[in-house]
């Protein structure tokens, strides 16, 4: 696979992931996108589709890393994107715990995490942190406009992801908006990765 095709994988990962979870969420009768996290789509009947979604996004992002490594804007940045990709793969390999009352009949918050749920959260956290730092690292490899956009993306991604975590912890003010805030956060991340691929392709 040529380097341009590898970089194109970074452009495709976000749109593919987003379209998949939007379509799957629309088919779940009791699933509330504003309240429930994307990861909850891996629970219940048909949950395998979101599992596959995580894995495909992770593999596409890993292919992107190979392209970034050869293109050479930042080796440290490429390693951070690789960590983000591994986080996606781990989130797919280990299913999340129920939260915010989904699937129906489960509590808003479990008293104790299952092992797979804890691993899902750990991989997700590591991936989120890596991507946020990558935004700052890649800010150094481009013109001023790209630097400002990358820094703003890193700050907004980290802030909204932290706020969604507060919501999923059942904070009364935010709990019904947890899914929406998380979707905003994920969209910031995937948009940045897509534009990073475009940026490197045209460098």
The predicted-structure confidence for 158-187, as pLDDT tens digits, reads as follows 999 999 999 999 999 999 999 999 999 999
Query: Which ranges of the chain have pLDDT less than 50?
Result: none
Structural domains counted in the chain = 1
Mean pLDDT over the full length of the chain: 95
CA–CA separation, 35 and 89 (whole Å): 24
**Whole domain around residue 125: which residue ranges?**
3-201
| pLDDT at residue number 95 | 96
| Terminal C-alpha separation, the chain | 20
Residue pointed to by tokens 């989120």: 128
CB atoms within 10 A of CB 148: 12
Give kind and range of the element (H or E) at residue 17. Answer: helix 3-27
pLDDT on residue 1: 67
Q: What is the reported pTM? A: 0.94
**Are residues 33 and 183 in contact, defined by beta-carbon separation less than 8 angstroms?**
yes
| Confidence at residue 73, expressed as pLDDT on a 0 to 100 scale | 86
* Residues 67-79 pLDDT 10s: 999 987 899 999 9
């Amino acid at each position: 696979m040529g380097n341009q095709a590898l970089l194109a994988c970074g452009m495709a990962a976000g749109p593919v992931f987003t379209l998949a979870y939007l379509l799957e969420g629309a088919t779940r009768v009791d699933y509330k996108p504003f309240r429930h996290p994307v990861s909850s789509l891996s629970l219940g009947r048909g949950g395998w589709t979101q599992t596959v979604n995580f894995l495909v996004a992770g593999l596409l992002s890993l292919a992107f890393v190979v392209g970034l490594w050869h293109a050479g804007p930042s080796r440290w940045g490429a390693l951070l994107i690789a960590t983000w990709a591994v986080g996606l793969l781990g989130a797919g390999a280990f299913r999340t715990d129920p939260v915010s009352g989904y699937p129906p009949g489960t509590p808003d918050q479990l008293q104790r995490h299952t092992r797979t749920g804890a691993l899902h959260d750990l991989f997700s956290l590591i991936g989120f942190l890596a991507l946020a730092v990558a935004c700052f690292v890649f800010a150094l490899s481009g013109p001023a406009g790209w630097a400002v956009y990358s820094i703003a993306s890193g700050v907004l991604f980290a802030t909204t992801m932290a706020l969604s975590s507060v919501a999923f912890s059942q904070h009364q003010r935010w709990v019904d908006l947890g899914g929406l805030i998380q979707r905003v956060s994920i969209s910031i991340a995937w948009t940045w990765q897509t534009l990073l691929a475009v940026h490197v392709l045209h460098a």
